[in-house]
Amino acid sequence: MTVLLNVKDLRAYYGQVQALHGLSFSLNEGSLTTLLGANGAGKTTTLRAICNMVRSTGGIEFDGKPLNNRSTESIVRFGIAHVPQGRGTFTTMTVEENLQLGAITRKDSAGIVSDIERMYAHFPVLKQRHTQQAGTLSGGEQQMLAVARALMLRPRLMLLDEPSFGLAPLVVRDLFGILGKINREDKVSILVVEQNAQLALELADQAYVIETGRIVMSGNAKDIANNEEIRKSYLGY
């Protein structure tokens, strides 16, 4: 197993407030890893720090190359696609334009065209609405669009920030099924941040639990799901 993403002693700051206190974890190539934790634990901050959207110190290595001090837009070029909290949809643009924007750093126009078709096959509802303003889609459809937009990069690593947020349980099942499929079939490594720990642990192979900016628990997702003590004290179910 090769390590794809390695985070060491990560500290992040919002102004004077420190949000992460020396957090370390790693993600293997091809794995689906989840970061769990309560509100305000630092899950979102961790993802934002990886993409340099928040001031941070410490080591972040992707495929052996340091990511620190690179701009957000240049980190994308390493093949890291970040679906932010709230999905980051370009609401005033059409569904198809959103997909094209996902591939804006790519140069192979033929590949982009075929990838858009591939996304429509993954997510048929997007094909039906491809000329519609993305802001008119439902929450679930927008989340599908956000995932599809990220995949348009042909990423090696996808960062997902609370994909289940605000979605109906059935839609969440659907979405997580698709994520698992993408991970297995397209060989995209995924780091997913979730509050819905039960569901995330079913999907993931590795899991880390964060509390107040530190990793307090890590291991195989199944083991963590089966450990009642951890579930009760950290995951609340």
Partner 1 sequence: MELFTNQVLAGIATGAIYACMALAVVMIYQAIDHLNFAQGEMAMFSTFISWQLMQWGLSYWAAFVVTLAFSFVAGIAIERILFKPLAKAPVLTNVAGFIALFAIINSSAGLIWDFTIKQYPTPFGSAPFLGSQLISTHQAGMIGVTVLLLLGLYFFFQYTRIGLAMRAAASVPESARLVGINTSWMIALGWGMATAIGSIAGMLIAPVVFLEPNMMGGVLIYGFAAAVLGGLTSPFGAVVGGFLVGIFENLAGTYIPGVGNELKLPIALALIISVLVVKPAGLFGRHIVKRV
Residues 141-170 that bind partner 1 (CB under 8 A): 149, 153
Regarding 84 and contact with partner 1 (CB under 8 A), the answer is yes
- Give the span between the Cα atoms of 9 and 16, in whole angstroms: 18
Which part of the chain contacts partner 1 (CB under 8 A), choosing from 11-19, 131-139, 167-175, 195-203? 131-139
Burial of 64 (0-12, 13-18, 19+ CB in 10 A): exposed
Which residue in 9, 21, 55, 73 binds partner 1 (CB under 8 A)?
73
Name the minimum Å distance from CB 228 to partner 1.
37
The nearer residue to partner 1, 126 or 209, going by C-beta atoms, is 126
The nearer residue to partner 1, 190 or 215, going by C-beta atoms, is 190
- What residues are paired with 217 via a beta bridge? 209
Closest CA to 177 of 156, 202, 141, 153: 202
Residue type, 128: Q
CA dist 146 → 79, 104, 196 (Å): 16, 15, 19
Regarding 131 and contact with partner 1 (CB under 8 A), the answer is no
Which part of the chain contacts partner 1 (CB under 8 A), choosing from 5-13, 21-29, 74-82, 194-202? 74-82
Which residue in 57, 68, 114, 136 binds partner 1 (CB under 8 A)?
136
- What residues are paired with 57 via a beta bridge? 11
CA dist 34 → 70, 112, 192 (Å): 24, 29, 5
Q: Tell whether the torsion through CA atoms of 49, 77, 86 and 53 is positive or negative.
A: positive
Regarding 54 and contact with partner 1 (CB under 8 A), the answer is no
Name the minimum Å distance from CB 184 to partner 1.
25
List interacting residues with partner 1 (CB under 8 A). Answer: 51, 53, 71-74, 76-77, 81-82, 84, 88-93, 97, 100-102, 104-105, 133, 135-139, 149, 153
